[in-house]
Amino acid sequence: MAEEPGRVLKPGRVLKPINSSSDTDVLQSVKPGVVLTQAKENTSDASPPVRKEWSLRDFDIGRPLGKGKFGNVYLAREKTTKYVVAIKVLFKSQLQKAGVEHQLRREIEIQSHLSHPHILRLFQYFQDKTRVYLVLEYAPKGELYKELMKNTRFDERRTATYMYQMTSALKYCHSKKVIHRDIKPENLLLGLTGDLKIADFGWSVHAPSSRRTTLCGTLDYLPPEMIEGKLHDEKVDIWSLGVLCYEFLVGKPPFEAESNADTYRRITKVDLQFPRHVSEPAKNLVSQLLKHDPNQRLSLDKVLEHPWIKENRLPSTS
């Protein structure tokens, strides 16, 4: 199957920092055999052989899939295998200007060690003089927030299915000590079978705090402890999961308000109200996720076991 991720292009387990001298990037070959070139000059130690270096020449580039602050994303196909991917092109000059090279490197490092059916895969990266290229999994059904806009809201089966997939992905991240911190519909894509894929469009780096200081983004998904400037841990993701579940069911986030100040106020008070169409069991789950005290929030294991999730979710397709 041409578009099943992970079968042809395998990400290298070891990714070197972007600006390091680049002779030993461990790049996995597309076809074993084609790519092993020669061993390095200093072979007295057991250094690995030099593998194929990826470049833009290995891909046919197709239509743009999206625009971002630092560059655009294009549909692309690896020439030898015809494997379809999304390539994100980042301009080094813009990365430098914004001072985010370090963050990018960190994010690549984190992302390259994640492999889960509901986390968008980073297969590889390469660079030329002016640009950095990220070879990402292609999500054929596109952006989830567009689906949400088209449908206004999702029914309980669809919401429970997405919630189960999100929760299993977050459980995987947390087991690797990665906190996502930027869960929202805009960061989610849909796979071939309509299954959810978490994709980071911002920089969801997991160093504590400092991030998200710019107030340009939405505040709707911020947990009280981040608003109140307290220390936070992986339980911020559980709060955001509650906000996401509400937005799927209702069509807008729970603490939406005219001004940022009002949103802040509603979040810190946990001013939570449901429209009448939301079922009791669904309300029960959301209410248990949106607890002011992080330690009172339902654990991810208990989300997976929640009766409303169990009774409503559709069987896994991935």
Stretch that binds ligand N15, among 14-22, 132-140, 148-156, 283-291 (CB under 6 A): 132-140
Residue 136 or 290: the one with the smaller Cβ distance to ligand N15 is: 136
The catalytic position among 23, 60, 155, 182 is: 182
Q: Which of residues 271-300 bind ligand N15 (CB under 6 A)?
A: none
Q: Contact at 8 Å (CB) between 81 and 8?
A: yes
- Specify the length of the chain in residues: 318
Q: Which of residues 178-197 bind ligand N15 (CB under 6 A)?
A: 189
Stretch that binds ligand N15, among 91-99, 101-109, 232-240, 289-297 (CB under 6 A): 101-109
Residue 268 Cβ vs ligand N15, minimum distance, rounded to whole Å: 30
- Measure Cα distances from 309 to 237, 267, 283 in Å: 18, 25, 12
Residue in 146, 193, 192, 200 with CA at minimum distance from that of residue 173: 200
Q: Is 182 a catalytic residue?
A: yes
Residue of 142, 217, 275, 307 interacting with ligand N15 (CB under 6 A):
142
Q: How do 196-198 and 142-143 pair as beta strands?
A: unpaired
Beta-carbon neighbour count of residue 170 at 10 Å?
25
Structure tokens at 216: 């340009």
Beta-carbon neighbour count of residue 61 at 10 Å?
12
- Residue 301's contacts (CB-CB under 8 Å, 6 or more residues apart) are 171
Residue 84 or 219: the one with the smaller Cβ distance to ligand N15 is: 84
Residue 125 Cβ vs ligand N15, minimum distance, rounded to whole Å: 7
Note the residues at the interface with ligand N15 (CB under 6 A): 65-66, 73, 86, 88, 104, 107-108, 111, 120, 122, 134, 136-140, 142-143, 189, 199-201
**Residues designated as active site:** 182
